[in-house]
Each structure stands twice: as structure tokens, then as C-alpha cells.
Amino acid sequence: MNEYNFNIEEMGGDYYSDENPSPKKPKKHTALKIAASLMAMTLVSAGSIGIYRSVTEGKPVDSSTEVSQTVEEKEPTTIENMNMLHIEENNSTVLTTEEIVKKVMPSVVGVKSEFEMQQQNNNSFGNGFGGFGDIFGYGFDFGNSGQTQQQNPIGTGTGVIISEDGYIVTNAHVIYDSQSGLGLAVGIEVLVGDDTYTAEVIGYDVDCDLAVLKIDAEGLTAAEFGNSDDLNLGEDVTAIGNPLGLDLMNTVTKGIVSGLNRNVTINDKSMSLIQTDTAINEGNSGGPLINKYGQVIGINSSKMSSSGFGSASIEGICFAIPSNKVSDVVEDFITYGYVKGKPQLGISCRDVTEEISQMYDMPLGVYVVEVTEGSAAEKAGLKKSDIITAVDGENVKTAAELTAQKNLHSAGDEIELTFMRNGEEMTTTLTLDETAAPVE
């Protein structure tokens, strides 16, 4: 019998499962590990879904779409005339900004995602709420108090064409909302010039924040991708995107590479990103970061912003997913429908916070709520109520830290877990399972 006797549902913090990695309770913001109390990471998608977050802040909403991270592997797909995203060698011709824009602009598209939610009507807000209704041309009427009403908030972002026959890469958070629990968009449209297409989701992964869409089109202009490993600090870069929605489509901004291999945590997902001072705003998500040769070397995804009353303003700290990472993920999406080799433990868990530790005389760590039958965790001997305190000798106090340590490995790797059971410290060796991203 376990010595820790309490109601797990009364524990603070978010509930986490590596089979369903979206927290049950939506977060108000995400944070970079450094100075987390003063700064917040903003995922740069835009549109009326932003209004929804404003008027429902602190009100959990059940998602109608659950993320099921373990799916049956499909047969590898062969696509005729498919120009896979390949990394090209840098050429010696440095382009002017005008030449870069002329080369890449035809490959940049707008992405419009429609989400579905059920809202309990307790208040009434019209157009112009907090200024947002007028800006985005969208307002909510929460009249008829006590009734449930379906709403369809809209999110917008940017995408990059990667093949002549309609494959497009963008951010996962442009089409899948995990912050507010709305799940996968019920409808996605892609704007290519003056034409609008309905898009199919080929694959998406919230951990690496990438998605591949497919539209029924031919003769498109595919972007040329460069080698992100060749980037240098201070190198000029250009961004093209749709800040604040599709009314400002194809906005061009310019800056430099401010940092390389930045370890950033967004929504409890650790990522290695390119830092740039190029102006990136809501709506730029999924758009290209371009080097001086006119090659896409990153997909813009997030920025640092102020968090909390009285916080100092933050300018010019933006992030992009490196093109080499994008290339690997895109190839897996198109071939298998998910990212191969992602590791999975097979547990659901909660953080043991300082408050819980003191209240129940428990060690700081990650409390195992449930162990999936047949999983790597069960095979390694983990049980419900164990408290994981270290991975390969590195202390972990939160599910985010546990995930970060796990993600240093691939499926099939062995890791050593240290955990507490009935007041006794124990260790076990675990062989990681493979996790597959959902395809809907």
C-alpha cells in the first residue's frame, strides 16, 4: 500500500500524459525557462481566436478533439511528382532584399483555420470588446444567459509552399489549438494569391510545432530551403508573413540572426530554435525566415513578450524552427503521416509542487497517476503513485523537465529512472516506446 494517501485530483498543476500531451487545464501563457516570471512566449498565430482567449481567460473549455498520440502506423506513401523538401547548398550570389522578396513571395500563403467550441452564455459582449472586435471584424454575442451556444472562432497564420502540387508547411498551432483546448480546426483554407483552397491535413505534431497541409493545385512555386546549420550570428535574414490577420498579407520585415540553438520551452515542449530580431507578430506563424541567398532557413513560430502588470516591454526577441528540423519532420509527415522515432514513456502524471510536497510530506518530482498497459513504463516496473525524481541522474521536478529529458532520446533508447515508492528510492532501466502524432 502506498504511503501517500490523498485525492490526486486535488493536486495543483496540470495533468499530463505523453499519450495525450495537451494539459487538461489551459495555460494563460507559456514561458521561456529564463526569467519565466517576467517574460512569456507568444505563439504567433492571429485572428478572432485571440478574441476568444481574451473573453474566456481562466475558463477551461473541454476540447471536442482529443489528441491521441499513439496511432497505427500506415504504409509508407509514394507520391508521384512530389518534390520533397530538400536542403540546398548555399550559392555564392547574395541577393538584395528586393530580389529575396521577388524570389520567395510566390511561395508564401495565408492559412485560415476555423475552430469549434461550445460556450455557456453568461455574459454579453458585442463588436469592439476591448478593441478586438473592430480590429478583426468579429464579435461575440453571449446573450441569453444560461444557454449553450456554438461559436466558431477563426485563427490565421502563414504557410510556405514546398511542392508544385500543393504541399504546404506551417506551424501546428495555426491549425491545432492546445492553449484553449479547442483542438484541431474543423475547417482550413489556404489563400494563394487571389485563389482560396480547402486544405487537407497530412500531418501535424504539437511537440515540434509543425504541420503539413495539402491543397488541390498544380504549378505552384515551391520555396527553396537552405541549410540552417550554415547560419552565422549577425547574418541578415528576412521574414514574410501575415501579421494581425490576412488584411496585412505578405508583410516583409528584416533583421539579423540574434542567436542559434536557443533551448526554448513552449507549452511544456522544449525546442531548439533560431533567435532573430526580425519583426514577428501574431499571424506570422508558419511563415519563412529567409537567408541572404533567398533560401528558407526557418519557420517563424514564436516571440518573447511582456507578462504581468508593470513588466518591462520586450522587443525583437523572436524565434524560428530551423530548416533542417523542418525537412526531417516534413519527410516523415508525407511518408508516414507522423514523426518517426519520438520517444514515449506510457504514463499520465502530475507535478508534485512545493505546496503539495510540504502538505503531504512528499518528495518533489513527477507523480505517476496512471501507467498505460503494455507500455515501456509498465514493462520497466513503474506503478501508479510512484514519484519520478531523476532521469539518467538528472533531477526532474516537473512533467516539463521529465519530457525534456525524455526528448533527448529516440524510441528504442534506454534511460534510467529514479523514483520514490513507499518512502524508498528505487531505480529502473526503461526502453522507450515510439510515439506517433495524430492524423485526422
Active site positions, annotated: 173, 209, 285
Q: CB–CB of 183/63 below 8 Å?
A: yes
Q: How far apart are CA 276 and CA 260, in angstroms?
A: 9
Strands 251-266 and 296-306: unpaired
Q: How far apart are CA 345 and CA 401, in angstroms?
A: 14
- Grid cell 530548416 is found at 323
CA dihedral 92, 284, 112, 174 (to 10 degrees): 100
Q: What is the 3-state secondary structure (H, E, C) of the chain?
A: CCCCCCCHHHCCCCEEECCCCCCCCCCCCECCCCCCCCEEEEECCECCHHHHHHHCCCCCCCCCCCCCCCCCCCCCCCCCCCCCCCEECCCCCCCCHHHHHHHHHHHEEEEEEECCEEEECCCCCCCCHHHHHHHHCCCCCCCCCCCEEEECCEEEEEEEECCCCCEEEECHHHHEECCCCCEECCEEEEEECCEEEECEEEEEECCCCEEEEECCCCCCCCCCEECHHHCCCCCEEEEEECCCCHHHCCEEEEEEEEEEEEEEEECCEEEEEEEECCCCCCCCCCCEEECCCCCEEEEEEEEEEECCCCCCCCCCCEEEEEHHHHHHHHHHHHHHCCCCCEEECCEEEEEECHHHHHHHCCCCEEEEEEECCCCHHHHCCCCCCCEEEEECCEECCCHHHHHHHHCCCCCCCEEEEEEEECCEEEEEEEECEEECCCCC
Contacts for 53-58: CB closer than 8 Å, 24+ residues apart? 53/179, 53/180, 54/129, 54/130, 54/132, 55/123, 55/125, 55/129, 55/140, 55/142, 56/119, 56/180, 57/28, 58/28
Q: CB–CB of 167/199 below 8 Å?
A: no
